[in-house]
Chain A
Amino acid sequence: MTLLEFARGPALTVALTVFIAGTLWRIFRLATRPAPPDRSAPRVDAAAAGALLGILRRFWPHPRFGARIGFSVFIGYLYHIGLAVIVFAYLPHIEFIRKLIGVGWPALPAPVTYFAGGVTMFALLIALMLRLTDPVKRLLSRFDNYFSWLVVFLPVATGMAAFDTAAGGFNQTYIALHLLTVELFLLWFPFGKLMHAGLAFWSRGITGVKYGRRGAMP
């Protein structure tokens, strides 16, 4: 079995299994924590609106904090959007997803996704620099923060390196490494902060409901 066959075969199966089972377990454990009812009389009886507002409002920083956190938010947006473009708009990735789940969609031109890859790597490096140099971020950072950064950065870096411009095609070893780093990402996803991809909506929604019913900013 070659490295590529290993990456495409058993490694992918294990990674996807851990990713799906781990994510479901974490959601199940959180969902089954006790949730005492709020018996206070609501000022505004609109839980769904509160949740929705709470989720949507936090996509953009509160205007009073723009100057203080704007750069950090901007860098965050850069690599989040970049990652979305790479994962969901690059033709080989769409083909990979189509083979996996049977659903596909049109791709963006390859140069656009390569540009997105470059921007993403740059933004991730800036984010790491901020984490290492900002006293607050440095104090708060744990293994999870650095390892999560690594498992996001590696697939982008190996993916960018996989295209052999001289040969006009993909380097198979790099493709194998790329797949393995993606699998590392999948393996780590349920255990660390990467799960904020879904938890962000849940967390914002809870606060949105709570403060929305009080008539406060959700």
Chain B
Amino acid sequence: MSLESNRPAPERVAAAMNAFVRDFTRESAVHMDACIRCGHCAQACHFYTSTLDPKYTPINKLEPFLHAYRRTTAPWAPLARLLGAEKGVTLQELESWQELIYDACTMCGRCTLVCPMGIDIAALISRARHGMFAAGLVPEDLRAAAERAENEMSPLGATPKVLEERVDWLEDEHGVKIPLDLPQADVLVTFSSIEIMKYPHSLVAMAKVLKHAGESWTVSTKGYEATNFGMLSGNRDWQHDMSERIIDAAIACKAKTVVLPECGHAYGALRWEGANVHGAPLPFEVVHISEYLASLARKGRLRLKPLAKSLTFHDPCQVSRRGGASEAPREVLAALGVDLHEMGDHADAAWCCGGGGGVVAIKRADELRRGAFRIKMEEIDATGAELLATSCANCRLTFDDGAAYHKWNKSMQSLTELVAERLEG
């Protein structure tokens, strides 16, 4: 029995409602009021499309949040309460919606692309998760990962000590230098725990690229992990702590630029939410690694041996559709000289891999996620490309899992690693 089940139901519901109300900003309110219930968003969702189950319609995933809004904050909330038109949200309702809010939404934002009202459903889901966390209704594996990230600095056990050991090993093995905790550097480089633990060659690739560019850079053991599981789980305080670690580390080493790793949600968390969490504009530039590579290519600081192969690129949703950096990886691929075969849906319209938003960390969501992954397999097969690459370790992990499960003979590669392998000199 979990600790949460010992809390009285009214207390948990009240906690959820308080968190919900805090999130009923003007943007949320206008978006919820504007919905015409047309259901077009279903057609953009990989979980609806792969199951045809209407419950996976994106706007339907927000029902408890909408009920809470209409009962507490909406313009006609007093009337709704007076007439009994809006019953209060119950713990059972919140429990039954947990799967839809966590397991069945990667917050990829594809639904917003098709919404005639422009409702940012992904942002609403992110806010609804605050209330779910407050009520103790986060899937246990996601909550545990977030708690590890808060307490140990990594959701996957990539603690500062583990990072130092990995860096030692990688420096020995690959003859690269990964400078830790320099007192001053122009660039602060961050990683994803998935890279540190599962794809350590990404760290080597980053080191090779930065050396090639002649950059002054460092990694801080006080703020190196950029995947923000506080944000994904719905814990606002943890989100703040995780962002502040990097912000503090960047300020401490007087970094002009923070380079975010191949991780989509890390980009959303720091590039677009970091300053809001911090409460002031950030005193440094925040770029995704693909933007950093594109910038080097533009300045002629990336000398690459051509890669004479066809390749298709999987856009991480938070970097492209929700982040506005769709062109950066394509500039890098052009610099690599690959024959780019775009998928039918790419860049802003790309399908999600199914593993974002913390979904890949939720074991019970495996079947749903792997079903949705078929969409990507079919799109990639249709391109006929020899190689596939992405700029998100979480997507890469989802691809590796999906490929193994479906016995698919394709392997996802890292954009940064491809670049590092083709560096001249």
Residues of A within 8 A of B (CB): 25-26, 28-31, 33-41, 43-44, 54, 58, 61-62, 64-65, 68-69, 72-73, 76, 134-142, 144-145, 191, 193, 195-196, 199-200, 202-208, 210-211, 214-217
B118 contacts partner chain A, Cβ-Cβ < 8 Å: yes
Option from A35, A58, A137 in Cβ contact (under 8 Å) with B39: A137
Chain A positions within 8 Å of B348 at CB level: 216-217
Which residues of A are found within 8 Å of B52, using beta-carbon distances? 135
In the complex, given contacts A29-B75, A69-B43, A216-B322, what are 8 additional A-B residue pairs having Cβ atoms less than 8 angstroms apart? A25-B75, A62-B114, A140-B59, A140-B60, A191-B76, A196-B34, A206-B118, A214-B272
Knowing A39-B281, A136-B54, A196-B34 are in contact, say whether A26-B76 is a contact too (CB < 8 A).
Answer: yes
CA separation between A40 and B278, bound complex, in Å?
Answer: 10
Could you tell me which residues of chain B, from 78 to 130, have a CB within 8 Å of some CB in chain A?
112-120
Main secondary structure, interface of A, reads helix
Chain A contacts of B349 at CB under 8 A?
62, 64
Indicate if the CB atoms of B37 and A137 lie closer than 8 Å.
Answer: yes
25 A/B residue pairs, CB under 8 Å, sorted by A: A26-B76, A30-B75, A34-B26, A35-B26, A41-B275, A58-B118, A61-B40, A61-B116, A62-B114, A64-B113, A64-B345, A68-B43, A69-B114, A76-B38, A139-B39, A140-B39, A140-B60, A196-B36, A199-B30, A199-B33, A200-B116, A202-B34, A203-B30, A203-B34, A210-B120
In the complex, the answer to whether B274 meets A40 with C-beta atoms within 8 Å is yes
Instruction: Kindly state the separation between the CA atoms of A35 and B25 in the bound complex, as whole angstroms.
Output: 6
- Chain A CB within 8 A of B245 CB: no
Instruction: Count chain B residues whose beta carbon lies closer than 8 angstroms to a beta carbon of A.
Output: 63
Question: Which chain B residues lie closer than 8 Å to A37 at the CB level?
Answer: 276
Residues of B within 8 Å of A217, CB to CB, are 113, 321, 348
Closest 10 CB pairs of A and B: A215-B324, A29-B75, A203-B34, A216-B324, A207-B118, A39-B275, A204-B118, A136-B39, A214-B324, A199-B34
Contact string against A for B residues 34-64, beta-carbon threshold 8 Å, 1 for contact and 0 otherwise: 1111111011100010001011010110000
Closest beta carbon of chain A to B100's beta carbon, Å? 12
B285 at the interface (CB under 8 A from A): yes
| B399 contacts partner chain A, Cβ-Cβ < 8 Å | no
Q: How far is the CA of A214 from the CA of B25 in the complex (A)?
A: 20
Residues of chain B within 8 A of A216, CB atoms compared: 320-324, 326, 348
Partner of B42, one of A36, A136, A191, A207: A136
B422 at the A interface (CB under 8 A):
no
Contact yes or no, A141 B113, CB < 8 A:
no
B175 close to chain A: CB less than 8 A: no
A33–B29 CB distance below 8 A = yes
Which residues 250-282 of B have a CB within 8 angstroms of A?
Answer: 271-276, 278-282
Task: Check B120–A207 contact: CB distance below 8 A.
Answer: yes
B168 within 8 A of A: no
Q: Which residues of the partner chain B approach A210 to less than 8 Å between Cβ atoms?
A: 27, 120
Which residues on the B side are within 8 Å of A40 (C-beta)?
271-276, 281-282
Chain A min CB distance to B296 (Å) = 18
Chain B residues positioned under 8 Å from A28 (CB to CB): 75
Residue B302 lies at the interface, judged by CB distance under 8 Å to chain A: no
Which chain A residues lie closer than 8 Å to B75 at the CB level? 25-26, 28-30
Q: Assess whether B325 is interfacial by the CB under 8 Å rule.
A: yes
Q: Given A30-B26, A39-B281, are A199 and B37 also a contact pair (CB < 8 Å)?
A: no
Query: What is the CB-to-nearest-CB distance from B334 to chain A, in angstroms, rounded to a whole number?
Result: 18
What is the bound-complex CA distance between A58 and B40, given in angstroms? 12
Q: Tell me, rounded to whole Å, the shortest Cβ–Cβ distance linking B327 to chain A.
A: 9
**Pair B117/A204 contact, Cβ less than 8 Å:** yes
Cβ of B26 and Cβ of A65 under 8 Å apart? no
- In the complex, residue of chain A having the shortest beta-carbon distance to the beta carbon of B123: A210
Task: Give Cα A69 to B114, complex, Å.
Answer: 9
Q: Is B31 engaged at the interface, CB distance under 8 Å to the other chain?
A: yes
